[in-house]
Structure 1
């Protein structure tokens, strides 16, 4: 098989990993001011993702690096045309990472409240903007014969893209609530379970509508069953959560996110960035890829190192698999040396 096609599929897998894993991180951050009634409860929520959030972000770094190496023309056009929203995502991720480390440094309510706001916005903005960005990638953008994106900010804020942003925002929030109900105990777990129906009132119609729009306008024959699986899994996740099947409900939202991402990449292929100016100006898997030698070297590197990365991340999830409760939190908000705790 063509190495360019293989690397297109590999990049899709990297984005699936990022959205599934970082998705619940974003969801926890979005829910922080709503479910964390006390500082102890907020610390329970933050400590639930503390050991894994930074490892989850490695997926987007790897995806960006793979795009740069395998499809440099795609990377260049995408990151120049989407410069402003991607800059906002970057700044939000930086602020969120700093907030995780610094909120517990000072025993002061106002200090912690500021960093909690940074965690919220640092989670909500990327959750929204990733959906806007990927919807525009599938829809296509104004691009000339030199593959220079000529779209302005208002061009990116079209109805389809805004629905995509609402879908990822609400879906990641629901995914985060499922994770908290699975990973925490006590009051935080109870509040997370109570929040699921309210979040689902937005997530289910938004995701279903976005999947339907994607399938009708850009989908292919083989993406249709995947879109149906994504919508069905989302409904099943809500039902399972209401029945107290927390592990299965989390698995179901993860399935929705994964299959929906496959639908987006499947609808995009063989393009990597369609041009709405003229289809002949579109970037495709073939005309945007690196040379075969580069792709061959990348393949061998991935074959050697990817299993090691997956083994390490799986091990970290296994080590920190137990529920977090108020009993695990110190009575005073003292700073601990472990990364991600607060």
Structure 2
């Protein structure tokens, strides 16, 4: 046995002895976010531009594509964090959904129906007709209040308003612990990162306003803001506006910790473009979730859910997320984004 293996065995044995001596038990839940990539139904909505969605552009077999798409989404959602918790996520933020009906189809799939997910969804003014939403296991989480917060941004050239996604706030109890979830889908980088930057900065300012409002009521509020931010963890919207920290010990009172910044620094991502990875999908947490008192839920660790079946295996996009829509048709894939997740743990009294 070499030195590294011996050291590992000693450390493992030490951990087991300490754990047994303390005889502590913990419950653990997954909280996740997933961009579902254009989850549209097969019906033309006259008040939306959904006729330009990949689903509506299909000339045939729309129903089959919709059924398989929702099945694929259910499969992913059912498996995030399951290897550790033996359960699907307690809470799931989602984006790029057309309406509540498509989410009903996902949570009523046979892979998820026994989990009895509730849905918090508001119609937003997004020009493409896509929204954000929160799914929650009714046996684990009880919503207390929900609200949708409008992001007003304007075109730099003609001054016209750009209609985009609202930000969703859900406050409720996770097995008795009050937590606040904000679900986001910030403006895209259409036109280039620099040209569109101000729009995401505006989204970050709205997000900070929501967080500050929660802190004004309770400075020790447990807040998780999650979503497809269309910015990386080191961009100004996060570092200068939200003032996120990548090191736990640097997170001050009322400050925010971004566990995904270290993933990004290590070259990992959730979506790819022109052979370059971006980590747009993130879950950011407030200081109280970092405390060491595990009598209530605390942050344990974060991850990117990038199982092999979610990765394209051939062609020019080999290694990219296996997306649902390509070459004008349904590919039987999943999404052009990987999901992200965090674990929350709580000590169970003996």
- Note whether the superposition's TM-score is higher than 0.5: no
Whichever structure has more helix as a proportion of its residues is 1
Whichever structure has more strand as a proportion of its residues is 2
TM-score (norm 1): 0.32
